[in-house]
Copies of this chain bind each other. A is one copy, B any other.
Amino acid sequence: MDFNKELSMQACPVSFVMNKIGGHWKPIILYQLMSGPKRYSELKRAIPTITEKMLIQHLKQLQADGLVDRHAEPVVPPYVIYKFSDRGESIKPVLNAIAKWGYEQWSADNI
């Protein structure tokens, strides 16, 4: 059950991080936010294959994990921007290291 998952996160710091930034959509969302704050509709347009359900679900999770801040202007139509929190900023180097390795390997695969 979830018991094993909890145990893994305590025993393996890499698992802990994967739970925060892993999965199908979170890397893509974070990658988009790395180029600066974006509003909801911008993210939606930037990631055409994502459904609204997945987008909002993962944005909420990223917020709950303290990686992303949400700021809503009380106007109509709504204006909501998402951006890295301070804690989120601290993971950018890690994401860049991952992306760098990924890009190198991707190139190596395609020679």
Q: With an 8 A cutoff between CB atoms, is A64 at the interface?
A: no
Mark contacts of A83-111 with chain B using CB atoms, 8 A cut-off: 1 yes-contact digit, 0 otherwise: 00001001101110111111111101000
Contacts of A108 in B (CB 8 A): 87
- Which of A8-16, A35-43, A55-63, A69-77 contacts its partner? A8-16
The answer on a CB contact under 8 Å between B91 and A13 is no
Is B93 touching A97 in the complex (CB atoms < 8 A)? yes
| A interface residues with partner B (beta carbon < 8 Å) | 4-5, 7-8, 11-18, 20-24, 27-28, 30-31, 49, 87, 90-91, 93-95, 97-106, 108
Those 3 A-B pairs whose CB atoms lie nearest each other, nearest first: A13-B102, A14-B27, A17-B102
